[in-house]
Amino acid sequence: MQSQFRKSLIASAIALAMFAVAGNASATDSVSQDVIEARQETQIWTTYALSPYLRANDIKVTVHGDTATLTGKVGEDANKDLAKQIALGVNGIKKVDNQIVVTADHEAPKASTDRSFGEFIDDASITTAVKSKLLWSKQAEGMSADVDTRRGKVTLRGTADSAAHKTAAGRLAGNTKGVLSVDNRIEIETAKTTQHKPAPSMSDTWITTKVKSSFMYSANVDGSAISVTTTKGVVDLSGKVNNGVERALAVELAENIRGVTAVNAKGLTTL
């Protein structure tokens, strides 16, 4: 009798243990799924915040399982479809319940004095691009420049040893993607003579990379259509550009990179 009771007790204990394990596993799965869905919602919202077409719209995102539900208002059908495509691009999202309403007279909220997340990222990207271009530029040697960007408006501060170098810095900044205006406050230091050290030798690979990057940052040159190779400091450009102005600017940008001794643009033709 005692043996039978003991067996029943053990069986009950095992059953309870299995139920507890199953319950814990179910709870863990639930928490994991909640975390995944929260991450997906954040990824979609962040992409909306970065998009210049969607950031001004009040779009809400909820994710359940493999479905993202979108609500809010936009002014164009194209924006509604863009919101859907962005959501579908997130890993794990297979369906989108797009409840966004298109309203022709929809007005975006008035811009506040504080920059939005998307505007802050845009400005930081512009600042980095301008600083990089100045760092690579022959005409910026000996220049001490600080770059600040706010809603696409770039302010340059610092010192240059000539008016030509100051002008070149402003031109480089103004020709950067996303820049709306440039306030060039760089001061010219003529009272002292700057001792320029011999320019360091740049590798051909470094030059090629910087020329390509300069095209990529440029607002007026389609770098994707231009091939760049460098041999002993001589840059060869080939491909297609839209017109002679774009061709001339591409050559100027390449010539301005440190370490470039000459630019051969015979292979760069206009459409």
DSSP result, 6-61: HHHHHHHHHHHHHHHHHHHHHHHHHHHHHHHHHHHHHHHHHHHHH-TTTTTS--EE
* pLDDT given at position 75: 85
Longest alpha-carbon distance in the chain: 109
Whole-model pTM: value is 0.64
C-alpha 151 chain-centroid distance: 15
* pLDDT given at position 111: 58
In which band, very low, low, confident or very high, does the pLDDT at 161 lie, cut at 50, 70 and 90? confident
Res 28 pLDDT > 60: no
Res 219 pLDDT > 90: no
| Contacts by residues 212-215 (CB-CB < 8 Å, ≥ 24 positions apart) | 213/132, 213/136, 214/133, 214/136, 214/253, 214/254, 214/256, 214/257, 215/250, 215/253
Closest CA to 56 of 113, 104, 99, 119: 119
The DSSP-derived string for 144-175 is: EEEEEEETTEEEEEEEESSHHHHHHHHHHHHT
pLDDT higher at 114 or 216? 216
pLDDT higher at 161 or 69? 69
Cα–Cα distances in Å, from 15 out to 1, 11, 154? 21, 6, 70
Does residue 194 contact residue 161 with C-beta atoms inside 8 Å?
yes
In which band, very low, low, confident or very high, does the pLDDT at 105 lie, cut at 50, 70 and 90? confident
Res 130 pLDDT > 90: yes
| Structure token pair of residue 241 | 């550009």
* pLDDT given at position 34: 87
Identify the architecture of domain 2-102 in CATH: 2-Layer Sandwich (3.30)
Multiple choice CATH, 130-188, 3.30.1340, 3.10.20, 3.60.70, 1.10.8: 3.30.1340
Res 47 pLDDT > 80: yes
In which band, very low, low, confident or very high, does the pLDDT at 49 lie, cut at 50, 70 and 90? confident
Cα–Cα distance measured from residue 83 to residue 70, given in angstroms and rounded to the nearest whole number: 8
Multiple choice CATH, 204-270, 1.10.10, 3.40.30, 3.30.1340, 3.10.20: 3.30.1340
Instruction: Read off the pLDDT of each residue in 183-204 and give the average, rounded to a whole number.
Output: 73
80-89, 137-146, 214-223, 257-266, range with the lowest pLDDT: 137-146
* pLDDT given at position 94: 95
Residue ranges per domain, the chain? 2-102, 130-188, 204-270
